[in-house]
């Protein structure tokens, strides 16, 4: 009916064994084509023709900022850099101990 609130519980989709082979752990094999992943089970920016309109703008803004930074600076290793960075399996977006670099002016 008109005015009805509809809630989509996307978090439950990501933790469902119906959508992923090993849903409770970070497992890159979950996204392998042979495991037939459900592309709508992880909706970071949404899917389909009505996905987040800010996604492209945010990614483009990030790229432009990175280009401006790298045009005037070089990224070099610093004393805290490690030779072999290891991924933190508890958080897929992090490297154990972090990544440390130094920016040097080009000019």
Write down the pLDDT at residue 104: 93
Q: Report the chain (107 residues): mean pLDDT per 10 consecutive residues.
A: 73 75 79 76 67 80 94 90 83 80 88
pLDDT 10s digits, 57-71: 888 999 999 999 999
Distance CA 22, CA 32 (A): 12
b/e per residue 4-37 (b: at least 16 CB within 10 A) = eeeeeeeeebbeeeebbeebeeeeeebeeeeeeb
Kindly tell me the sign of the dihedral angle through the C-alpha atoms of 48, 54, 60, 66: negative
Q: How far apart are CA 40 and CA 13, in angstroms?
A: 8
Q: What is the reported pLDDT for 72? A: 93
């Amino acid at each position: 009916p008109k005015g009805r609130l509809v809630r989509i519980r996307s978090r439950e989709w990501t933790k469902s064994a119906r959508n992923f082979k090993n849903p409770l752990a970070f497992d890159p094999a979950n996204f392998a084509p042979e495991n037939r992943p459900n592309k709508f089970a992880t909706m970071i920016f949404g899917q389909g023709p009505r996905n987040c309109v800010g996604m492209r703008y945010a990614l483009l803004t990030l790229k432009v900022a990175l280009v401006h930074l790298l045009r005037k600076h070089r990224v070099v290793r610093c004393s805290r850099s490690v030779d072999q960075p290891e991924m933190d399996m508890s958080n897929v977006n992090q490297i154990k101990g972090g990544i440390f670099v130094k920016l040097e002016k080009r000019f």
